[in-house]
Amino acid sequence: MRSFGLLLCLWFFTSQGTFSYIVDPGPIVKATKGALWPKPKTQTVSQRYSVIKRPTFHFQVVNQTCDILTKAVDRYQNIVLNVGNDSRRSLFSASGTNKIISRRSWRSDMNFNDYLEEVTLNLKAPCEKLPYLGMDESYNIVISETRATIESFSVWGMLRGLESFSQLAVLSNDGSMLYVNLTIITDNPRFSHRGLLVDTSRHFISVCTLIKILDGMAYNKLNVFHWHIVDDHSFPYQSKAYPELSEQGAYHPSMIYTPQDVQNIIEEARIRGIRVVSEFDTPGHTRSWGVSHPELLTACQAQYQGKLGPIDPTKESTYTFLFKLFQEVVEVFPDQFVHLGGDEVGFECWASNPDVMEYMKQNRLYSFEMLEEKFIQRIVDQIDVLNRSSLVWQEVYVNGVRLPDGTVVHVWTGNRQDLLNRITSDGLPALLSSCWYLDHLNTGGDWRKFYNCDPHDFVGTQKQKDLVLGGEACMWAEVVDDNNILQRIFPRVSATAEKLWSQVDVTNIDDAARRLEEHTCRMNLRGIPAQPPNGPGLCL
């Protein structure tokens, strides 16, 4: 018999003596109205409201400004003024009358405050050029009887404030007005690294879709786009130093990211306050590299004869090749961090190759973990020489690689509490992903399992917990492409976004369900095809 989960079934005999049942579907989650996602640090809300006067509404910059803020003002002006446009047409046009729309009943409402035509943007410090780890994203919003202001000491905080204000603007039940409640908000994120990993190797994801993902990230106040750009299956990154890698390793000539494409993604992310962290995973996950450069990979022997394995760590030419590639990577991607991978290295091929075994003997390497450690050590040192910091998957730490100060260890599997405790007790910063794998699908509403995970849920001192920089949700692309990746990411990643932004005591999942119901509809209105979060319901 099919399981109905939490649904209650009442069985009874009919008059004919056969079995029948009545299903209680449970309550439909009732969406909030004008509630923020992620939940802000503090907010006071009045029943009083101001009506946004669409024809003249605008944001007014009164202090510092720059291209990031100017472009944000244009985006959010359109977002605010588009609230309710489609639903007003669908709800009222069919009646053939505009009487409901033209009625101005709020004028006699005791909670009506005034018309809102201007929101003042007070950026109190000069703009920074690039987002970075630890940037100031705090902001304040005041919508009072006499003024509406967003204030911040950084352009990144101003971006988050504009997003919050746009979520406050809602349509009245009868569709006749767009309004905001009088409110005061003080807000800043709990964690500085709030990321989304997108894999573009298993399936190629178009630039247009990646930009749409960046939009959705901004709507959830995520600030790191972890671009897992290449892997075993394809090498879509077009390298200037080694163009043959994509010429021969990409799925198709149309499925590559040109230098201009990459710059476009970095720029679209920058103006949304999102860092782009690239990942070129080695020594495993590199089969696509070997299409054009088979000499980079280990030639398997014995029962694996004719196959190529992980990168060959015994050849000096390997490190020369990689250093030249990473020189390019740090020039192309401006972020301080480069993700070096280091996960899931199969040792069978290394074990079958007599040259590898002889190299291990000569260098007194008594395990393949030690061989991998020697390889990763060389790569981490290269990144250090290039004046960048490394991100590595947890295997690198577990295998005992000597990591430079500031190297971030990325936890993706196993006992997360134990690993986070060990990593931070060794004084290394950490990121969490293991409980936020978006490719692990359950039935509708599985965002709740993501919501119930917290990066500080381990035994450790406050000093250790301060070393947890945040985390990332991961969208591996074995079964997603342009046709379904947005629906798989949103709104499920919203749960991760709130856990990384909001305060530690924001844990009420029923409240979250109501706010996420509204936020999903909000994303739908903005062009993000987010799937329903909670089951039966509707979005207007």
Neighbours of 316 (CB within 10 A): 8
Structure token pair of residue 189: 């994120």
Structure tokens at 22: 């009545």
3-state secondary structure (DSSP) of residue 182: strand
User: One-letter amino acid identity for 487?
Assistant: Q
Tokens representing 363 are: 């260098």
For residue 74, give every residue at least 6 positions away whose Cβ sits within 8 Å of its Cβ, in sequence order, or none.
none
Q: 303: which 2 tokens?
A: 């029962």
Give dist(CA 521, CA 529) in Å, integer. 9
Q: Which two tokens stand for residue 215?
A: 């939009």
> Looking at residue 30, what DSSP letter applies?
P
Distance CA 353, CA 309 (A): 10
Taken in order 513, 518, 523, 528, the sign of the CA dihedral is: positive
Contact 278, 288 (CB under 8 A): no
Place of tokens 């973990």: 369
Read off the DSSP letter of residue 40: P
Tokens at 299, concatenated? 């030639």
Radius of gyration of the chain (CA): 26
Distance CA 188, CA 161 (A): 10
Residue 210: helix, strand or coil by DSSP? helix
Bridge-based pairing of strands 112-116 and 19-24 is: unpaired
CA distances for 290 relative to 162, 178, 249, 284, angstroms: 46, 57, 8, 11
* Residue in this structure with the two tokens 């060959």, named with its chain if needed: 312
Return the residue matching tokens 């394995």: 309
Three-state SS string over 266-299 comes to HHHHHCCCCEEEEEEEECCCCHHHHHCCHHHEEE
Is-catalytic flag, 344? yes
**Catalytic pick from 117, 247, 328, 344?**
344
Q: What angle do CA 171, 174, 178 make, to 5 degrees?
A: 25
Please give the Cα distance from 216 to 225 (Å, whole number): 11
CA–CA separation, 290 vs 216, rounded Å? 35
The SS3 call for residue 179 is strand
Distance CA 387, CA 337 (A): 10
Rounded Cα–Cα distance for residues 180 and 165 (Å): 9
CA atoms lying within 13 Å on the CB side of residue 531: 17
Query: Catalytic positions, please?
Result: 344
